Structure 1
Amino acid sequence: MTYTKILNDIPDSYFGKTMGRKLEIGSKPLINMAVGIPDKPAPDEVIKAMSAAVQNPENNKYGVFRGKDTFKEAIQKFYHDVYHVTLDKDEEICILYGTKNGLVHLPLCVIEPGDGVLLPDPGYTDYLAGVILAHGEHYTLPLYEEKSYLPDFNDVPADQLSRTKLIYLNYPSNPTGAVATREFFDETVNRFKQTETKIVHDFAYAAFGFDAKNPSILQSPGAKDIAVEIYSLSKGFNMSGFRVGFAVGNKEMIAALNKFQDHTQVGMWGALQDASTAALKLGESFTEVQNDLFRRRRDRVTALLDQHHIPYSPLAGGIFLWLKTPRGYDGESFVDYLLKEQSMLVTPGIPFGERGRNFVRVSLAVDDSILETFLERLIEEKSLY
């Protein structure tokens, strides 16, 4: 296959490359613990709103490029009710066809060629593509379990930090399950508020905080001066197929994203916006039910792993277990072993960065019966540890 030079420089998407591939498995029925697609249906209120919206003739026409007021007002109210953050409807909100679009497009909107971008390691695989598309320089923001997977910016070489114009943060973390504190966000905003460095916080797993409610970075004083937060309806509202999210925060960054999208799409389909409005109106009471479900799953998984002395990183939020590999295995070889011996598919940690080499990522977004089967089969392999 012949690609342009810039596409050649972008690594293949791990999930794009692996989803749907033929797997060589053992004798047991396959269970897939690799993909974080919520296992519960979208809320009834969302389905009803979508059905009605599809039949509305106004939604079959071009809509307002930057979104319906009704949807943006729902975003305003949701952020005010849940995080006590006030947003300007026209200047501090950008509607996204999925949060991945915003995360990948953002460097094209806020950095110049050659500018540095700090990417967490381990961290979400597709951040890098946006940096390459924008001709930026990517630097590693190392995350360590002993530091609760929160970055220490003193671990970054001073010359790289001085050239950094954009920092990616992601809490609750995909893949580690770590969470951030309000204190961490306060300190981070305070550190960079007098610099040219901007921050993007990937808040896709906002709904899932098992020991405490997850803070928004926008709650920190001065955060809107330097940061945007990108929120997803995919996980917390069981709407992964709808592909709806939004960016909120810093006016300049939001304006740049909106301008970019003015030229790359003709607004979001009105029916999707109406369905998403219905979702946000369900509010925190709905996401709390989601959180309770995954907290129970977390408690079940970690109790059993502790009982059988199988090591993993602390799981405080999100929907993934960051499981350590046994002696003699890296993530990829352990994935192959589990497929052949136990017919279980998990995700190797290596695509998430060098610090993921000796981990695999396990999704908890599966039916409880499948989760129990996974645990039974994993415990059969405890002698490897």
Structure 2
Amino acid sequence: MELSNRLAQIPDSYFGKTMGRKVEHGPLPLINMAVGIPDGDTPKGILDEFSNALYKPENQKYVAFHGKDQFKQAIVDFYERHYQVSLDKEDEVCILYGTKNGLVNLPQCIVNPGETVLLPDPGYADYLAGVLLADAKPQSLVLEPPRYLPKWDQINKETLENTRLVYLTYPNNPTGSAASQKVFDDTIAQFKGSKTRIVHDFAYSAFGFEHDNPSILQSEGAKDLAIEIYSLSKGFNMSGFRVGFAVGNKEMIQALKKFQSHTHAGMFGALQDAATYALNNYDDFLQQQNTTFKRRRDQFTAKLDEENLPYEPMTGGIFLWLKTPPDFDGESFEKYLLKELSILVAPGIPFGEHGRNYVRISLALDDDQLMEATERLLSISHLYQ
């Protein structure tokens, strides 16, 4: 295979390698706890809107590169309604064909070769690819248990001064930790007046179990240096639609829009119509999603507590961060669970060096499967002794 030098330096995507692969497992029926999306169907009203939009003549042609006016207005209204954040729909909104595109493309838009980018460790694995594609220098932003929050006073001053971009993600994938508004206030204060910019991956925004998840843009001065990337995949059960958006700092948004104007010719109009309908009509559905996953979290962790299986506090998102037994790392424990219990999980190592002794468990399962998985996990509690 011929690869450019730049592409050759980028490791294969863990999820690209594993999604859809044939899984060989033990004798029990397979329970997939590695899936990274909620398990429910897309609401019927959104599907009906999408179906009807297919027949609109204007959606069978090119649309405006940077999105329909009504979609951008729906985004503005959604942020005002949920976060009391005012946005300019032309200057502070960028629609995305899946939020991963924005997260991976951003460094090429605003970071120069050799500049430092701080990546959360543990954190979403594919941020790294964007940094390497920009010929920038990735550096770990170590997040420590149990809360996995940044501690700016513990980072080398020279590193902070030389950082061009910081990635944050709360609720955190993979740890299930959530941030308070103070965390974002402190982050904005830390980098105010500097050259550093911030991107907050808000993919699991709908899932906050101790409190509603705040937007980083609610912090004073946030739009001077930060953008937030929001996904419709998780909260609205629309992962296959590949729709999201970035909002916030004008210069960063305009850079993303310029990049996109050279890489694709606008989002399919029917997708925009479906997304507009979702944002305008399904606030109650987001709350139902949160209630479902909080109940699953409570039931699942109560069972783990019976046998003292060690896990980190899950205060948001859809994942639980389970510590491996003493004689295992994440990869060997993943193989053990698949062979012995027919449970598929994600090893912690792809999420950063500080995930080495963990596995990520998704709660995107129906109640029967979730309880069956719990009983199987409890059967190996002796490994933790």
TM-score, structure 2 as length reference: 0.98
Which residue type is aligned with residue 227 of structure 1? A
Match of 1:84 in 2: 84
After superposition, the CA RMSD in angstroms is 0.8
Match of 2:98 in 1: 98
Deviations 1:285-320 (CA, angstroms, capped at 9, x unpaired) = 221110000000000011111111000000000000
Contact 2:38 2:318 in 1 (8 A): no
Q: Indicate the SS of the match to 2:95.
A: strand
- Per the TM alignment, residue 283 of structure 1 is displaced from its structure 2 partner at its CA by 4.2
Which residue type is aligned with residue 150 of structure 2? P
Match of 1:225 in 2: 224
Which ranges in structure 1 are unaligned for 5 or more consecutive residues? none
Deviations 1:15-64 (CA, angstroms, capped at 9, x unpaired) = 11112223231111111110112211101111010000001111000000
Q: Indicate the SS of the match to 1:129.
A: helix
Using the alignment, how far apart are the partners of 1:376 and 1:321 within structure 2? 16
Q: Indicate the SS of the match to 2:114.
A: coil
Match of 1:62 in 2: 62
- Per the TM alignment, residue 233 of structure 1 is displaced from its structure 2 partner at its CA by 0.1
Match of 1:275 in 2: 274
- Per the TM alignment, residue 85 of structure 1 is displaced from its structure 2 partner at its CA by 0.4
What pairs up with 1:1-385 in 2 under 5 angstroms?
1-146=1-146, 148-385=147-384
- Per the TM alignment, residue 258 of structure 1 is displaced from its structure 2 partner at its CA by 0.3
Deviations 1:96-149 (CA, angstroms, capped at 9, x unpaired) = 000000000000111111111000000000000000011111111000014x10
Which residue type is aligned with residue 169 of structure 2? N
- Per the TM alignment, residue 333 of structure 1 is displaced from its structure 2 partner at its CA by 0.3
Contact 1:94 1:254 in 2 (8 A): yes
Using the alignment, how far apart are the partners of 1:214 and 1:283 within structure 2? 17
Deviations 1:191-237 (CA, angstroms, capped at 9, x unpaired) = 11110100000000000000100000000000000000000000000
Decide which moves more: 126-135 or 151-160: 151-160
Q: Indicate the SS of the match to 2:79.
A: helix
Contact 1:167 1:197 in 2 (8 A): yes
TM-score, structure 1 as length reference: 0.98
The size of the alignment, in residue pairs, is 384
Which residue type is aligned with residue 28 of structure 1? L
- Per the TM alignment, residue 155 of structure 1 is displaced from its structure 2 partner at its CA by 2.8
Deviations 1:309-344 (CA, angstroms, capped at 9, x unpaired) = 000000000000100101100000000000110111
Identical positions, percent: 61
Which residue type is aligned with residue 207 of structure 1? A
Using the alignment, how far apart are the partners of 1:247 and 1:383 within structure 2? 46
Contact 1:117 1:139 in 2 (8 A): yes
- Per the TM alignment, residue 282 of structure 1 is displaced from its structure 2 partner at its CA by 2.1
Contact 1:36 1:364 in 2 (8 A): no
Using the alignment, how far apart are the partners of 1:165 and 1:214 within structure 2? 26
Contact 2:59 2:269 in 1 (8 A): yes
Using the alignment, how far apart are the partners of 1:65 and 1:338 within structure 2? 47
Q: Indicate the SS of the match to 1:145.
A: coil
Contact 1:142 1:155 in 2 (8 A): no
Using the alignment, how far apart are the partners of 2:327 and 2:379 within structure 1? 17
Contact 2:152 2:190 in 1 (8 A): no
Using the alignment, how far apart are the partners of 2:311 and 2:280 within structure 1? 36
Contact 1:141 1:153 in 2 (8 A): no
Q: Indicate the SS of the match to 2:237.
A: coil
Which ranges in structure 2 are unaligned for 5 or more consecutive residues? none
Q: Indicate the SS of the match to 2:251.
A: helix
Decide which moves more: 21-30 or 165-174: 21-30
Using the alignment, how far apart are the partners of 1:207 and 1:81 within structure 2? 14
Using the alignment, how far apart are the partners of 2:85 and 2:15 within structure 1? 34
Which residue type is aligned with residue 23 of structure 2? L
